[in-house]
Amino acid sequence: MIDEMTTVLEPNPLPDFVETKYIKDITHRALSYIKAGFPVHLRGTSGTGKTTLAMHIASKLNRPVVMIHGDEEFTTSDLVGGEYGYRLRKVVDRFISRVLKTEEDMVKRWVDNRLTVACKYGFTLIYDEFTRSRPEANNILLSILQEKMMDLPVGRGGEEPYLRVHPDFTALFTSNPEEYAGVHRSQDALRDRMITMDLEYFDYETEVAITRAKSRLSRQNAETIVKIVRGLRQSGKCEFPPTIRGCIMIAKTLKIQGMTPANTNGNFMQICQDILASETSRVGSKTNQDKVRQIVKELVENVSK
């Protein structure tokens, strides 16, 4: 029984998950690196499917999954564990019923956190956006990945100052290369211990399949949306290229309104412009948005011909 305060996820396949050739290929490669004993790192810009793929790969390993999201505020004890809480004891005197004695003792109890739980029981760890955490917090991972040993801080008790990592332990990492510069430099020693797979935007077939799976639109309508989004991405005029999330937002909005790109009296254009202009600029700069709106207008007119 695992009594630590940790959420452990079942390795279930995700609903609406589509497996195109592109997805199967990446999954297959990642699994073969894992089988060879290496942690896998999926690196790509926003919306390239890193988190979803990591969960999919994890589900294929058939071990319980523990997930951590990188965070600048993290310390090593957020990953490993720490001493939490006081113990409170109530003593009820059975002879004198009015006596109720509460004993509070100051001994804090050590609670293992997610990383320790995963190493101890051989679970699959997904460390999403690991570069958002400070390198000092992640240092604990160096010996886990290399020597398969986990140093345990004093305070945890137990016989040994380290924990031997369970042989079934696997780690999957994700990161966004755009964040390295801004937040923390990539942790080179850590990165050197994993196999990094660089993800690009999905291929056309996968984008259409995901758009359809998420919205239940027809193939033809999903294709229209994907063509517009890809056209805008390829124009190279956006501060941030639109992602699959743009396709999903447009498709779901159409579906809920019972519209198709062909029968909307100009609403389709409006929806595409609203969603794509906002998705592709950070500060909402008017000039940028107008530029994007104009490109989207041309793209919508072209695909509707």
Ligand X SMILES: Nc1ncnc2c1ncn2[C@@H]1O[C@H](COP(=O)(O)OP(=O)(O)OP(=O)(O)O)[C@@H](O)[C@H]1O
By CB under 6 A, name the binding residues for ligand X. Answer: 16-18, 23, 44, 46-52, 176, 210, 213, 244-245, 248
According to CB under 5 A, which residues from 49 to 88 bind Mg ion? 51
In angstroms, rounded to a whole number, what is the distance separating the alpha carbons of residues 115 and 137? Answer: 12
In angstroms, rounded to a whole number, what is the distance separating the alpha carbons of residues 52 and 131? Answer: 18
Judged by CB, which is closer to ligand X: 39, or 70? 70
Scanning 46-54, 88-96, 150-158, 218-226 for contacts with Mg ion by CB under 5 A, the matching segment is 46-54
| CA 71 centroid distance within chain | 12
Judged by CB, which is closer to ligand X: 44, or 241? 44
In angstroms, rounded to a whole number, what is the distance separating the alpha carbons of residues 113 and 4? Answer: 7
The nearest distance, CB 173 to Mg ion, in angstroms, is: 12
Q: Tell me which of Mg ion, ligand X, none is bound by residue 213, counting a contact when its beta carbon lies within the kind-specific cut-off of 5 to 8 angstroms.
A: ligand X
Using only the alpha carbons of the chain, give its radius of gyration: 25
In angstroms, rounded to a whole number, what is the distance separating the alpha carbons of residues 61 and 122? Answer: 11
Q: Tell me which of Mg ion, ligand X, none is bound by residue 221, counting a contact when its beta carbon lies within the kind-specific cut-off of 5 to 8 angstroms.
A: none
CB under 8 Å to 254, separation ≥6 — which residues?
A: 215, 217, 221, 225, 260, 261, 264, 268, 271
Give the relative orientation of helices 219-235 and 267-279 as an angle to the nearest 10 degrees.
40
Judged by CB, which is closer to Mg ion: 27, or 51? 51
Site mask, Mg ion, residues 130-159, x = CB under 5 A? ------------------------------
Helices (H), 61-183: 76-80, 114-121, 135-138, 140-146, 178-182
The nearest distance, CB 28 to ligand X, in angstroms, is: 14
Judged by CB, which is closer to ligand X: 54, or 137? 54
Please name the helix (run of DSSP H) or strand (run of DSSP E) that holds residue 207, with its range, or none.
Answer: helix 204-215
In angstroms, rounded to a whole number, what is the distance separating the alpha carbons of residues 111 and 117? Answer: 10
The nearest distance, CB 223 to ligand X, in angstroms, is: 16
The nearest distance, CB 227 to ligand X, in angstroms, is: 18
Q: Tell me which of ligand X, Mg ion, none is bound by residue 241, counting a contact when its beta carbon lies within the kind-specific cut-off of 5 to 8 angstroms.
A: none
Judged by CB, which is closer to Mg ion: 45, or 235? 45
Judged by CB, which is closer to Mg ion: 48, or 221? 48
Which residues bind to Mg ion, rule: CB under 5 A?
51
